[in-house]
Chains A and B, each alone.
Chain A
Amino acid sequence: MLKGMLEGRGHIWWAATLILMFLLPLILPRFYLYLLSIILLTGLLATSLNLVLGYGGIFQFHHAVFYGAGAYGTALILTKTGLSPWIAFIVGPLVSAALGLIMGWICIRLSKLYFAMLQISLGSLVWIIVYRWYSFTGGDDGIHGIPLPDILSSPNNAYYFTLIVTLICLFAMYKIVKSPFGSVLQGIRDNPVRCEMIGINVKLHQLLTLIIAGFFAGVAGSLFVVVDTTVFPDMLFWTLSLEICIMCLLGGWFTFLGPMLGAAIIIALRTFVSTFTVYWSLALGILMMLVIFFLPNGVLGYIEEKLKRVIIEPVIKE
């Protein structure tokens, strides 16, 4: 089945998966539906990070800021203003994209580790403002019980909304990766100097990627508001950013669906492990170490490699 999926011949498998996803609310209890929604939106977040980190090769270490900014943008408009809720869902991602533009514009002149550090510094600044500004953002309590439009308030509908939006976003990102823009981006990752030489505006492309990734992270943040009806400052903390990095790594850097798989594995494991021990970070740390040592290309990367060996080697031998 996996073989068919990865070779692109298995449209039927994709269709079956999709139909299954749409039918799940009929059989699954409420908690698992919630879990599935969280997996979907976290997967979207991880995929948006992979756009920058895996395809763009930019050291985006503080991706959670955009996620949190999108969530807070949506939550604040829903609670503080009387505007239509649908405007809130558009404004959230736009706030993230704007933040991506500002932070990107400041950071882009630096490279590698310096870029990462400046970004973490700026991100911590945003986190502190959210954390300390009690009157506006609710401080460390966050915002609870965010009013949603009636149509989204049932768990089933929230799930469908998350599923549809996630699918649209994934499709859009897939198109971006496969477009000329995406190819240029991967070229810049592999050899920035050569790209500069043949007349590509490297910084502009990187900045655009940061904005796009920020936008999709903001979408994930807005979806979190729909699913959980809360926001809290930990959504912008740097430890979450590195957890998203782990998801990308676990699933596979250079695969499109890897981050989604990584998010699913980590969130399912967290739910499972938390039922019988409080030491989840210990388990996560050990899992991460094993992945870094034994599966540096991630689960999906490993499968792809194996498949290539199975499919291509016989051809070469002939």
Chain B
Amino acid sequence: MGLSRTTILFIVSSGLSLILGVLRIPNIAHGSLYMIGAFMAFTISKVFGGGDTGFWLALVGAPLGVALVSLIAERGLFQYLYEREHLMLLLLTFAVSLIFGDLVKIVWGAEYKSVPVPQVFQGFVNLFGGLPFPLYNLFLLIIGPIVAVALWLIVNKTKIGKISRAATVDREMVGAVGINVSWVFAIVFVIGCLLAGLGGALVAPTVSVTLGMDHTLIIEAFLIVIIGGLGNIWGALLGALIFGLTQSLGILIWSQFGIVFPYAAVIVVLLFRPTGLLKSTW
């Protein structure tokens, strides 16, 4: 239970971490993109009759749709703002998230939506001596590490990853050797947002898809990125693990205030390691 929540948190916050690390934008609109991903998954799965094909198409289509939205946002807006100070960027992305929130309301309406769990993943498996464990959560557990490894490969082994890491350190120098930094940043931004959309599409069958689902998630994702170390993908994984596990443990121990525990964990981490557990790229 806690681990599958961790997967969602990790996928969303690794995208946020990538954007923060390379582009240095504290992107509050990231949560809105996650919400848009969930709503798109709902629409796609509904169009294809709510069956298995619908689910798989939603899993591919929703992140791509979100990537398209984010590409438009980056080219039309964010690319002019990389040099601004953090405060302005934070407020600007907040403005974008307000706009996205209302656009979602216009397109999808304010009602609760639900996405069916595909047939393949309905049912339970028995783990650890007879504890029933939902198959869909097991699927999430498999997806999480795949995303982590894929992201690590992109950042460390591909050309675009290398350029983006170089651009983090010295943007002007990368531009001087003849690389179009602006487009590299756009690609990194889109990859990060794609992850937000993927998180939204993955979470859609497990929760009710609704307006405002971005508000709590974006704070959680920010905290995970901060305790993990800004821009560090393994840090995001570690942070998501801490957050997801303390949350589910907390709910087991004390259901009314269970949700307090992950926040308390974040505070403890920040008190002892103010710049995060792992090395940040800043």
A-to-B contact residues, CB < 8 Å: 53, 59, 61, 106, 109-110, 112-114, 116-118, 120-122, 124-125, 128-129, 132-133, 237-239, 242, 245-246, 249, 278-282, 284-286, 288-289, 292, 296
Contacts and interface: CB of A to CB of B under 8 A. Distances in A.
Contacts of A280: 102
Given A124-B219, A125-B260, A288 B91 contact: yes
A54 to B, nearest CB: 10
A292 B88 contact: yes
B274 A114 contact: yes
Contact of A289 (B86, B95, B260): B95
A288 B92 contact: yes
Contacts of A109: 274
B275 interface: yes
Interface residue range, chain B: 35 or more
Given A109-B274, A249-B91, A280-B102, 7 more contacts: A121-B219, A122-B267, A125-B267, A242-B94, A282-B102, A285-B95, A288-B91
13 contacts: A53-B87, A120-B219, A120-B222, A120-B223, A121-B270, A122-B267, A246-B95, A279-B106, A281-B99, A282-B103, A285-B98, A285-B99, A288-B91
Interface string B214-250: 0100010011001000000000000000000000000
Contact of B99 (A61, A122, A129, A282): A282
Nearest to B110: A278
A246 to B, nearest CB: 6
B96 interface: yes
Nearest to B225: A117
Interface of B: 26, 28, 77, 86-88, 90-92, 94-99, 101-103, 105-106, 215, 219, 222-223, 226, 256-257, 259-260, 263-264, 266-267, 270-271, 274-275
Q: Is the interface of A mostly helix, strand, loop or mixed?
A: helix
Given A281-B101, A285-B96, A129 B260 contact: yes
A128 B260 contact: yes
B236 to A, nearest CB: 14
Contacts of B86: 59, 112-113
B24 to A, nearest CB: 10
A134 to B, nearest CB: 8
Nearest to B280: A114
Contact of A118 (B77, B256, B267): B267
